[in-house]
Amino acid sequence: MTALPDDSAPTRIPGPAVARLALYLHVLRNYSLRGIAVVSSPQLATAAGVNPAILRKDLSYVGANGVRGVGYDVAKLIGRVSMALHTDDTHTVALAGTGRLGQALLAHTGIGRGFTVAALFDDDPTLIGTTLSDGGPVVAPLDAIAVAGHWDIGVIATGDERAQQACDAFVAAGVRQLLNVTATTLHIPDQTPGVVIRQVDLALELQVLSFQAMHAPDRLGVGNDAGTGSEVNGSKPPRRAAATRYRETMTS
């Protein structure tokens, strides 16, 4: 991921910082919706559940400088972070698996924020040939993935037993960014470079939370307005910030 802070040469933003920047963007958009025009770095850091020093370091990657004693202009910061994360670009997404989770993902993620759901695939005969949203794509059989077209991101929300097949088909279709929400650990052929898989498992997150609660109960704080991803309020950085909420693998 590259960004252009100010007019200097492209800066490589570390993966964990990219995930935290996405979280800051979420918080900032909430502030904007609530009519808040300026935010201090401690406020933003608390809302996002990160250490203020980490926040300032992350924001330095996008060339954002707050005004000392005042804070950051929310609208400008949204612009900076959006540009760095390329959220203004439109990315095409293909979704394999339009069951309960797939339909929930369709309803709640991305649309209008730089993602266009361009294709839907499923093997449920009651879904094939239907559309799940006004003007949306028609659900096609899973077998059609490999021949249907090219997308930026493939989302795999099939039943666990079909996940690897969907993955193989996406890779064969040239897709290099995969979001896997099934419990299946996906394998990519060694000869296929540059495939990134992010795996999200809410049950695993619950296990980690309960483990942390047992081992550090005094560190559990109240919630925050970030909505996602931050577990602890306080002066120390959380042991697991947004950046580590996913399992990510990449073929070389």
Binding range to ligand NAD, per CB under 6 A, among 22-30, 57-65, 111-119, 155-163: 155-163
Query: Total residues at the site for ligand NAD (CB under 6 A)?
Result: 21
Annotated binding residue 99: yes
Binding range to ligand NAD, per CB under 6 A, among 5-13, 151-159, 211-219, 226-234: 151-159
Q: Which of 76, 160, 187, 216 binds ligand NAD (CB under 6 A)?
A: 160
Determine if 231 is a binding residue for ligand NAD (CB under 6 A): no
Burial call 150-160: b when 16+ CB within 10 Å, e when fewer: ebbbbbbbbee
Within 13 A of 178's CA, how many CA atoms are on the CB side? Answer: 35
Determine if 208 is a binding residue for ligand NAD (CB under 6 A): no
Binding range to ligand NAD, per CB under 6 A, among 45-53, 87-95, 180-188, 225-233: 180-188
Q: Which of 97, 154, 229, 238 binds ligand NAD (CB under 6 A)?
A: 97
DSSP state of 177: E
Conformation bin of residue 234: beta by default, left when phi > 0, alpha when psi is -120 to 50: left
What strand order describes the sheet that includes 91-96? 139-140, 115-121, 91-96, 153-156, 177-180, 196-199, 247-250
Within 13 A of 27's CA, how many CA atoms are on the CB side? Answer: 27
In the complex, the smallest distance separating the C-beta of residue 99 from ligand NAD, rounded to whole angstroms, is 2
Determine if 82 is a binding residue for ligand NAD (CB under 6 A): no
The C-alpha angle 2, 77, 112, rounded to 5 degrees, equals 75
Residue numbers at the binding site for ligand NAD (CB under 6 A): 97-102, 122-124, 127, 157-160, 181-183, 200-203
